[in-house]
Chain A
């Protein structure tokens, strides 16, 4: 037997001391504010809680914006509140727990804003960030294409140099809410593929009302419409709408992944069903149901601690980063772990609900539990596909664990 070499620290979450992990008082106070807001909204029946795909509700987004909860980590001069990532974490998890309709501001708040802060020009920041924070400007993401899903670097959409800008031609798919959004980030090829496929890619900001843009719905299997395909036919994009550097698109797209993959939305989209399951069980003494509820509670608790640790590590602190996540911290693997485990956890809730309360899911059900069950069963395949499939994430995690294999 070989002697244990040294101290084999866990290769992930290396610098995190989970025993010290706690939310600051400011975040706890904010939580009460958000809860009070959501309670009054619920009581006024201003929205119907829905699971699966969060609802697009411009009115609700305006109310959230009025509270200062969109772009809340951004600098004040761009309409932000300069609050911490942990405070943002609290707002996000409260919205998810309440199944609130956040789709209108989701992408702008989570992806567009941080990317603009890190890579955008002053003019782009001025133009878009305050409008996003006011809840008046919605963004979508133009990443996937018919031939580029997990293998994002194989995008075929191309931009050709023309005087004063670029002419973009191609097709994007699975573009959620493109039919409602004002603009989207388009990942495209700005120079032909050479040896390294990751080179020659760029990000352009494309207004969805530009001439040459066509948005067509792709209906989900239950008939609902949030996905689209977006066709770009010689769409002119002026130079001032290039995001970051030409040729740096790959680096830009992948650098924000830790933030996108580790948030509470990666393990909380079915959480309200667990709440309704407990309500349905009532005082039932069924030990099997209790064990399921207990196990789901425990697993949630562990996932949330991991997600919190990432939010904390990415927080630039009060005076760093201009509101963008801390660049030096590479938590891509940790984030991938949270997403991988979180998306499977979401399914465990569905299974527990199905198996302890034997009912047939009905999409037209009136009762919340029945409706949530129908929404989550149909939505279940999505979470392990979007934002990095299980298989891609695990390959990425294994690469970190194993290191170079030669």
Chain B
């Protein structure tokens, strides 16, 4: 058990090299205006990284959810301005489960909120989709909008061509596309819709979305910590490197703990889902812990950097802006804490310890 997973390690190493070769200041700056980086996407797609975790027989790259988790953590570490989570872990997962084709190109997934639902009706011998989705990540650059919807009796997965939707562009703090999307009797061909497979549901989509954001947060936090540490080793004030001051050291140590907890919880949650464990507990715990860490960590990172960290010339903002965006997406820490607290309360005091140790 727990022998180093060599395959995953090699995957992560080659993915890290690819990100490092492509993601630089220029690319991130350009993405702020374009909303994403087609150039990075092409490189990732050529390496089959977006569809890691999607079965090869469905057109994916194979591998497990934990493999995909390792790639998402890296995507966060590089602030990769591409819909990596949406394409594989969310849309690819829904499509593959339903037996639908997983197309090439960036995909969007939804609805990303619990209180949203899309409806399907039969009209003149075909399915039509209606409803509204708020702030759907990456909708306007996606090849397909992959959604889960209900016909009143069951949940189905639909792959909608973007031209059949009204998309109103929106942004998150890091200027990633978060678009309002309206489907008004959007027509679907037979090959574009199928019943959701066991395990795929709107509820499960929300869980996976929250898991994906947790992994991205964990990665972005690692980078923010790295930048803060590097800065503390270089910046001189009062004749000393600021990292030599205990006041700074104490903050960096706290930061290190927050990052470790974020990484531990996010990756652990992926493992729990893969092993068929208590996904609600694990994902809720991960999103709460990662969002908490995002709050504490981002502010320590800026405090250590002083004024230079708040400019748009310095790298830190690429990560902290994303941390502040991602912690809200797919439910913030209060949403998930209430959900988790209610769950624990419902099961009762004596079920808490068994739940926490069900692994």
Write the residues of chain A forming the contact surface with B, with a CB cutoff of 8 angstroms. Answer: 1-4, 6-13, 15, 17-24, 28, 31, 93, 97, 271, 274-276, 278-279, 281-284, 287, 289-295, 297-306, 309, 312, 334, 337, 340-341, 391, 393-403, 405-406
Closest 10 interchain pairs by CB?
A294-B341, A290-B341, A294-B337, A398-B249, A294-B340, A394-B253, A279-B349, A298-B288, A8-B226, A18-B267
Check if A302 sits within 8 Å of B289, measured CB to CB.
Answer: yes
27 pairs of residues in contact across A and B, judged by CB atoms under 8 Å: A1-B314, A3-B24, A3-B25, A4-B315, A7-B20, A7-B74, A7-B77, A10-B263, A17-B4, A17-B267, A18-B266, A19-B268, A271-B353, A275-B349, A278-B349, A290-B337, A290-B341, A293-B341, A294-B339, A298-B265, A301-B282, A303-B261, A341-B257, A393-B253, A398-B253, A402-B229, A405-B233
Cβ-defined partner of A302 (8 Å) among B70, B285, B315, B350: B285
Q: Is the CB of B69 within 8 A of A275?
A: no
Given A1-B25, A17-B4, A295-B337, answer yes or no on A22-B314 (Cβ-Cβ < 8 Å): no
Q: Which residues of A contact B243 (CB under 8 A)?
A: 398, 402, 405
Q: Which residue of chain B is the closest to A25 with respect to CB atoms?
A: B1
Residues of B242-265 at the interface with A, using a CB-CB cut-off of 8 Å, are 243-244, 246, 248-250, 252-254, 256-257, 259-265
Beyond A401-B229, A401-B252, is A18–B264 a contact (Cβ under 8 Å)?
Answer: yes
Within the complex, the shortest CB–CB distance from B66 to chain A, in Å, comes to 4
- Name the CB-closest residue of B to A1: B25
How far apart are the CA atoms of A275 and B260 in the complex, in Å? 26
Roughly how many angstroms separate A284 CA and B349 CA in the complex, as a whole number? 13
| Of A24, A302, A391, A399, the contact of B264 (CB 8 Å cutoff) | A302
Q: Kindly list 15 other residue pairs between chains A and B, CB separation below 8 angstroms, not including A19-B70, A21-B268.
A: A7-B77, A8-B223, A17-B267, A21-B2, A22-B359, A275-B352, A278-B352, A290-B342, A293-B345, A295-B340, A297-B285, A298-B336, A340-B253, A341-B261, A401-B256
Across the interface, which residues of A come within 8 angstroms of B339, CB to CB?
294
B123 contacts the other chain (Cβ, under 8 Å)?
no
Closest A residue to B13 by CB, please name it. Answer: A7
Report the bound CA distance from A10 to B233 in whole Å: 17
CA distance A18 to B314 in the complex (A): 32
Count chain B residues whose beta carbon lies closer than 8 angstroms to a beta carbon of A. Answer: 83
Interface majority SS (helix, strand, loop, mixed), chain A: helix
- In angstroms, how far is the closest chain A Cβ from the Cβ of B356? 6
Q: Chain A contacts of B356 at CB under 8 A?
A: 297, 300-301, 304
**A1-B314, A21-B2, A391-B250 known; A397 and B344 CB under 8 Å?**
no
Contact A394 B250 (CB under 8 A): yes
Question: Smallest CB–CB gap between B227 and chain A, Å?
Answer: 8
State how many angstroms separate the Cβ of A100 from the closest Cβ of chain B: 13
The answer, yes or no, to whether B313 is at the interface (CB within 8 Å) is yes
Smallest CB-CB separation from A306: which chain B residue?
Answer: B264
A21 to B5, CA, bound (A): 11
Complex Cα distance A145/B158, Å?
71
Taking a contact as CB atoms under 8 Å apart, the answer to whether B344 and A297 are in contact is yes
Q: In angstroms, how far is the closest chain A Cβ from the Cβ of B80?
A: 11
Interface-lining segment among B172-180, B189-197, B270-278: B270-278
- CB contacts (< 8 Å) of B314 on chain A: these are 1
User: Which B-chain residue is minimally distant from A281 (CB atoms)?
Assistant: B345
- Kindly state whether residue B357 has any CB partner on chain A within 8 Å: yes
Q: Closest A-chain residue to B229, C-beta based?
A: A401
- The distance in angstroms between the C-alpha atoms of A19 and B8, with both chains bound, is 11
Given contacts A4-B20, A19-B69, contact A337 B260 (CB under 8 A): yes
Q: In this assembly, does B143 line the interface, its C-beta being within 8 Å of a C-beta of chain A?
A: no
- Bound-state Cα–Cα, A312 to B359, Å: 14
Query: Which residues of chain A come closer than 8 Å to B8, judged between CB atoms?
Result: 17
Q: Given A17-B4, A402-B249, are A302 and B25 neighbors across the interface (CB < 8 Å)?
A: no
| Chain B residue at minimal CB-CB distance from A24 | B1
Are B271 and A21 in touch, CB under 8 angstroms?
yes
Please name the residue on chain A nearest to B246 by beta carbon.
Answer: A395
A294 contact from B69, B271, B274, B342, Cβ within 8 A: B342
Contact (Cβ within 8 A) B348 A17? no
Q: In the complex, are the beta carbons of B344 and A293 less than 8 A apart?
A: yes
Contact between B2 and A312, CB atoms less than 8 A apart: yes
B225 interface residue per 8 A CB criterion: yes
CA distance A115 to B339 in the complex (A): 45
Provided the pairs A3-B25, A294-B336, A398-B253 are in contact, do residues A9 and B5 lie with their beta carbons within 8 angstroms?
Answer: no
Chain B residues 320-359 with CB under 8 Å of chain A are 333-334, 336-345, 348-350, 352-353, 356-357, 359
Which of B70, B226, B344 meets A278, CB within 8 Å? B344
Tell me, yes or no, whether B78 is within 8 Å of chain A by CB.
yes
- On whether the beta carbons of A291 and B334 are closer than 8 Å, the reply is yes
- CB of B168 closer than 8 Å to a CB of A: no
Q: Distance (Å) between the CB of A101 and the closest chain B CB?
A: 18
Contact among B69, B244, B260, B285 with A334 in the assembled complex (CB-CB below 8 Å): B260
Partner of A340, one of B257, B266, B270, B350: B257
| Chain A residues with CB below 8 A from B343, complex form | 294
Alpha-carbon separation in the docked complex, A398 to B13 (Å): 26
Contact between A13 and B341, CB atoms less than 8 A apart: no
A292→B340 CA distance, assembly (Å): 10
**Residues of B with C-beta under 8 A to A11:** 225, 229, 256
Tell me if B122 counts as interface (CB < 8 A to partner A). Answer: no
With an 8 A cutoff between CB atoms, is B23 at the interface? Answer: yes
State which of A9, A22, A284, A299 has its C-beta within 8 Å of the C-beta of B222.
A9
How long is the Cα–Cα vector from A406 to B249 in the complex, in angstroms? 15
Cβ of B232 within 8 Å of any chain A Cβ, yes or no, is yes
Q: Does residue B281 face the partner (Cβ distance < 8 Å to A)?
A: yes
CA distance A31 to B293 in the complex (A): 31
B340 and A394: CB pair below 8 A? Answer: no
Name which of B25, B66, B286, B352 has the most chain A CB atoms within 10 A of its CB: B352
Chain B residue nearest to A337 (CB atoms) is B257
B91 within 8 A of A: no
